[in-house]
Amino acid sequence: MKRGGRPPLRLRCRAIVLGSALLLVGTLASGARAGTANTVDSATDATCRANEPSDSFSFPSTIAADGRHVLDGSGNPWLVVGDAGWSAIAELDRDEFDWYLDQLASMRFNAVLVSLIETSYSSHPPANHDGEVPFVGDLFQSRPNETYWELVDEYVAAAAARGITLLATPAYLGYATDGVAAAVAAATQRQMFDYGTFLGRRYADSPNIMWVVGGDRTDLSDAELAGMDAMAQGIRSVAPQLIAGHAAGGSTAADVYGEFDWLQVNTSYESEGDPAVAARRAVAQQPTRPTFSIEGVYEQERDDALPSGNALLRYQAYGAILSGGFGHVFGNNPRWHFGASNPYPYEGTWELSLEDPRGQLDRGTSHQCVVAKIVGGLPWANLQPDVDGLFVVGADGPEAAGVAAAFSTADSVGAVYVPSSDAGTVTVEVSALGTNSDIMIVRVDPTNGSVSDMARLPAESGEQPLPPPGTNANGDTDWLYIMSPAPTP
């Protein structure tokens, strides 16, 4: 990136939010003081939390012709706004599960990452809340317990009724000994294939499932890899749903399962490095597969991911999407295990992470609502990652490499996520949007959806510094900038 450039614009106008799309109306006001926010339809208010009508629900169905996106049953791109609810099926009773889904749906989540069998992070693994176990004997080597799976049936249907897809992990392998890796290795390939066909037949008519093979494991033994392959082949032989994969942090699903033709959806997982870089690597892997960020740092599992200051959690979502991914799965501790275990210290309860009267412990979750609302209002599936620096042409701060950007010449739309003020002055090339019309720039607070520092620029403006970030409503300095065709004066 180039360094330096002209001083940032200091402009203002007003904005009106219609539905989930931003309609920007305003004029250039040279020299006006930057940072004067006009909060419009804050994404954390009741409007954001409102559930969508039931006839608008969409579930993942097929792969787009370009191989980059997942389409729903109507042929529209499907955006993942997911929550890590790994232990939900094992730990929650039906009323708790319904409340959990209701809260997620009200905040525009449309997917839950969940284990169908839990062997560590629940109160009585592998039994569920009612004391039922998934198999009558050894895992995968004996007959499935019908009573256990009848409750899973109810949970799948409950999620579908709320427009929520289950990213269903049939056999979570585990990071160490916390999964079913040993049981998979002990079973025969035929037994794992039969388990796959059992699941496939049972849920073949459930549109709200995407299968997730693996789980927190990259270095599989030959027996474990053969077992995962057999299970996936079994599912695919009888069920139409898409199949994704899950590897350990720092790896992609394609790193582990890329040799298998059943892997239709790739995933990235980065908890130590840059999540946007990880997403770009996954998107670039061949053959081309739709990619989403399946895991990252969870809220309350690191000091830089606390509810009081969680810019990293927002960066994981925007970084993945602006790097070519079709969404992100958010994680919260203790919500992923629902208080059943304590691998990391945390404050509060899983319920407070969804609805905290103080507005503190549910911040991370509410900020994902902003992601859903803002990104959902853009032609996000047309955005191309700015990997060659054609759109963002300069940033002069120590965190310049963290700036994530994407743009669409077909729509003349661009989006830039600046992770902090330490990125310095960020400069964009207006002509990269490929339009002869004026362009409107709007700065969006990623913590509440408010807008400020808007400007109308001629298409021939060339390189333009973005308005300075300042401090957002959460006390952080990350901001989202959106550029789109200006309305007719």
> With 70 as the cut, is the pLDDT of residue 31 above it?
no
- CB-CB contact of 214 with 247 (8 Å): yes
> With 50 as the cut, is the pLDDT of residue 2 above it?
no
> With 80 as the cut, is the pLDDT of residue 30 above it?
no
- CB-CB contact of 407 with 381 (8 Å): no
The predicted-structure confidence for 288-316, as pLDDT tens digits, reads as follows 999 999 999 999 998 877 777 789 999 99
**C-beta atoms surrounding 197 within 10 Å:** 17
> With 50 as the cut, is the pLDDT of residue 43 above it?
no
**C-beta atoms surrounding 131 within 10 Å:** 9
What is the predicted pLDDT for the residue at 22?
40
Which residue in this structure is represented by tokens 């925007």?
A: 318
**C-beta atoms surrounding 50 within 10 Å:** 12
The predicted-structure confidence for 171-209, as pLDDT tens digits, reads as follows 999 998 999 999 999 999 999 999 999 999 999 999 999
> With 60 as the cut, is the pLDDT of residue 322 above it?
yes
What is d(CA 165, CA 262) in angstroms, rounded to the nearest whole number?
A: 19
pLDDT, mean of residues 71-85: 97
Residues 6+ apart with CB under 8 A from 368: 81, 83, 107, 108, 109, 317, 330
pTM of this structure: 0.90
> With 50 as the cut, is the pLDDT of residue 150 above it?
yes
What is the predicted pLDDT for the residue at 460?
86
Which tokens belong to 89? 């099926």
CA-wise closest residue to 243 among 195, 198, 211, 268: 211
What is d(CA 371, CA 449) in angstroms, rounded to the nearest whole number?
A: 9
Pairing assessment for the beta strands 165-169 and 209-214 based on DSSP bridges:
parallel
Which tokens belong to 193? 């294939």
The kind and range of the H/E element at 7 are none
The predicted-structure confidence for 223-251, as pLDDT tens digits, reads as follows 999 999 999 999 999 999 999 999 999 99
pLDDT class of 42 with cuts at 50, 70, 90: very low
Distances (CA, A) of 52 to 19, 79, 270, 352, 413: 11, 15, 31, 23, 25
* Helix 189-203 vs helix 146-160: crossing angle, to nearest 10: 50
The predicted-structure confidence for 107-132, as pLDDT tens digits, reads as follows 999 999 999 999 999 999 999 999 99
**C-beta atoms surrounding 222 within 10 Å:** 8
The predicted-structure confidence for 341-365, as pLDDT tens digits, reads as follows 878 889 999 999 999 888 888 889 9
Q: What are phi and psi of 212, to 5 degrees?
A: -125, 110
The kind and range of the H/E element at 385 are strand 384-385
pLDDT class of 141 with cuts at 50, 70, 90: very high
> With 80 as the cut, is the pLDDT of residue 478 above it?
yes
What is d(CA 102, CA 275) in angstroms, rounded to the nearest whole number?
A: 29
What is the predicted pLDDT for the residue at 48?
64
Residues 6+ apart with CB under 8 A from 321: 79, 327, 328, 371, 375, 380, 383, 406
Using a pLDDT cut of 90, give the percent of the chain over it.
78
What is the predicted pLDDT for the residue at 360?
87
* Amino acid, single-letter form, for residue 439: I
What is d(CA 477, CA 270) in angstroms, rounded to the nearest whole number?
A: 22
**CA of residue 203 relative to chain centroid, distance:** 24
The top-scoring range by mean pLDDT among 3-7, 8-12, 165-169, 482-486 is 165-169
What is d(CA 410, CA 238) in angstroms, rounded to the nearest whole number?
A: 39
Query: HSE (CB half, 13 Å, CA atoms) of 51?
Result: 15
CA-wise closest residue to 451 among 13, 9, 5, 146: 13
What is the predicted pLDDT for the residue at 12?
32
